[in-house]
Structure 1
Amino acid sequence: MDIHKLNAFVAVVEESNISRAAVRLNMQQPPLTRIIKGLEDELNVQLLKRLPRGVEVTEAGKVLYQEALTILAHAQAIPQRVKNITQGLEGQLNIGFTNSVGLHPFLPALLRSFREAFPAVSIHLEEDGSNSLIDSISNDKNDIVFLRKPAPIGLGLNSLPVLDEPLIVAMPNNHPLAEQPDAIQLVALEPYDFVLYRRLAGQDLFDNIMASCYQAGFSPKIVQEAPRLTSSLNLIAAGIGLSIVPEAIRDFWNKQIVYKSLKAEPPCIAPIYAVYKDNPENVRLQHVLQLLGRQHHEIQSHNNQR
């Protein structure tokens, strides 16, 4: 149905007079009368009752009037919505992350900042393994993903360092090392049983931990693997063994578990990278990258003040 016809009909209903509606629409009365007559013929129903001094809308006309208001409002909003999409103020942002990254407070802080700055943009979150997340960027399923390693070379993807998270040791509170007051040398963990986050679920973190142990001169004795990083804490609390975990994990469980800093050379860290495909036309991605830049600067300033 023609937008201009609906706009003319709305003017007539609101003015209750064709002459006044014609003045409002800046047109002559005869063409306006023909428009209304054409609408009635098109719908095969009487929309207006002609009165000696004006018109009165019929029941069918009232229904058309309400529908016309909705259609016109939607039509008027279209240019602004298109502009909003172009400026990244609406639409959907797709973010992926591995399980261990999702436990770090930087991610909810980033999401909160983005939501405050761009409230009309919906955010879709996906937790998965690093290989699947890399594929999701290559296939344009996700706009940005957060991993414990940079993207493989040769895929045309960008890797932005976000932060370096220290690795710490988590152990049962009755462990022989639990009473040690200072940070624990990584090599001192060699004699003890390890509980680790399963490599299939957290390949990057698993490989990082194993590399740190190899550099310290030993291969950890793994007696149990857990399907998720947080579930490994149950096994540690039960006394199955100790584990090396990202520092942020200590905020999730401290019952029957003692956390200690680790000393090693090079330092034991679990970096976090933002991986994305360079696309200047993806304005929502550019907004995220700007927020990440500010967040990274704040983290660096905080670390420098320590």
Structure 2
Amino acid sequence: MIDIYKLNAFVAVVEESNISRAAVRLNMKQPPLTRIIKSLEQDLDTILLKRLPRGVEMTEAGKALYQEAQSILAHAQAIPKRVHNIAQGLEGQLNIGFTNSVSLHSFLPMLLRNFRERFPAVSIQLEEDGSSALIDSIINGKNDIVFLRKPAPIGFELTNLHVLDEPLVVALPNNHPLANDQSAIKLTDLESYDFVLYRRLAGQDLFDNIMASCYQAGFSPRIVQEAPRLTSSLNLIAAGIGLSIVPKAIEDFWNKQIVYRPFSPDTPCIAPIFAVYKADQNHIRLQHVLQLLQHLK
């Protein structure tokens, strides 16, 4: 292993082309510097410098060492700053997970944008998955924070932060009998109609929320078609196969052949969003995210 101290001395001698001037640059005497260079040559078992009447000149091996030494010393000089930046949350990696329906809400891109503007050197790794897999990813440390439609179960020592409540709306084909009805829609108004929902495995939290709301209203929705994703269910709705209950944010993604109607204020349907994470005061990048979340709320 090559001593960084010796490499620094060698680089100084090369750049000054003179041991005496290099000794002045290093704030040391010439004899100790000469011994350092000889020791380095012994370590590498090769001659690095040719002694000239008025200075020194690199050998071919010395040139190779000089190029490597420059890279090594530059990297070594950068280590303290990098370590400090990571300790302050200014560098490193942040792993964020979310369900498909959460990704459609504007708060998420706004959060990511604000974070990147404040901490541009932090790498952000994003993962979209089902809620169960995302909770597992927090438990095993794969993700730092995930965003779900319901809080994590009790017993996993995870922290749940309520981010927001998003209204659910009815998505109807534009030729549906309820599409042009200007009266307030209640859940019970939907009982006799066909439903299109995306598969529970693709969005368990939102699916369960919709089903529970219908059960509380006194009926079980007649699901005639399931879609692999929330956004793909919009194609089926536009085709007239059925209606659906969707987060309000989805209105920004598709309005062709689809009419969105709010629920009556006395029977609102809400889909909350929660941030789930392990409480770790030493995870400074996570603390930065939580601070930004508080400002967005």
- Specify the SS of the correspondent of 1:294: helix
Q: Deviations over 1:192-212 (max 9, x none)?
A: 100011112111101111122
The equivalent of 2:150 in structure 1 is 149
The equivalent of 1:164 in structure 2 is 165
What is the rounded CA distance, in whole Å, between the counterparts of 2:169 and 2:147 in structure 1? 21
Equivalent position amino acid for 2:63 in 1: K
The equivalent of 2:119 in structure 1 is 118
Is residue 106 of structure 1 aligned with residue 104 of structure 2?
no
Runs of 4+ deviating beyond 4 Å:
none
Range with bigger deviation, 174-183 or 203-212: 174-183
What is the rounded CA distance, in whole Å, between the counterparts of 2:44 and 2:139 in structure 1? 51
Structure 2 residue runs of 5 or longer lacking an equivalent are: none
The structural deviation recorded for 1:154 is 2.2
The equivalent of 1:287 in structure 2 is 288
The equivalent of 1:208 in structure 2 is 209
TM-score after normalising by structure 2? 0.96
What is the rounded CA distance, in whole Å, between the counterparts of 1:136 and 1:282 in structure 2? 16
Is residue 267 of structure 1 aligned with residue 268 of structure 2?
yes
What is the rounded CA distance, in whole Å, between the counterparts of 1:202 and 1:264 in structure 2? 26
The structural deviation recorded for 1:266 is 4.2
Q: Cα RMSD (Å) of the superposition?
A: 1.4
The structural deviation recorded for 1:172 is 1.0
Range with bigger deviation, 5-14 or 135-144: 135-144
Equivalent position amino acid for 1:212 in 2: S
The structural deviation recorded for 1:89 is 1.4
Equivalent position amino acid for 2:158 in 1: L
The equivalent of 1:237 in structure 2 is 238
Q: Deviations over 1:232-255 (max 9, x none)?
A: 011111111010000111111112
What is the rounded CA distance, in whole Å, between the counterparts of 1:88 and 1:290 in structure 2? 13
Number of residue equivalences = 296
- Kept in 1, the 8 Å contact 2:197–2:225? The answer is yes
What is the rounded CA distance, in whole Å, between the counterparts of 2:29 and 2:72 in structure 1? 25
Equivalent position amino acid for 2:208 in 1: D
Q: How does 1:3-22 map onto structure 2 within 5 Å?
A: 3-22=4-23
Equivalent position amino acid for 1:47 in 2: L
TM-score after normalising by structure 1? 0.93
Change (3 A) 1:171 1:22: same
Structure 1 residue runs of 5 or longer lacking an equivalent are: 297-306
- Kept in 2, the 8 Å contact 1:161–1:274? The answer is yes
- Specify the SS of the correspondent of 2:263: strand
- Kept in 1, the 8 Å contact 2:186–2:267? The answer is no
The equivalent of 1:304 in structure 2 is none
Range with bigger deviation, 279-288 or 181-190: 181-190
The structural deviation recorded for 1:189 is 1.3
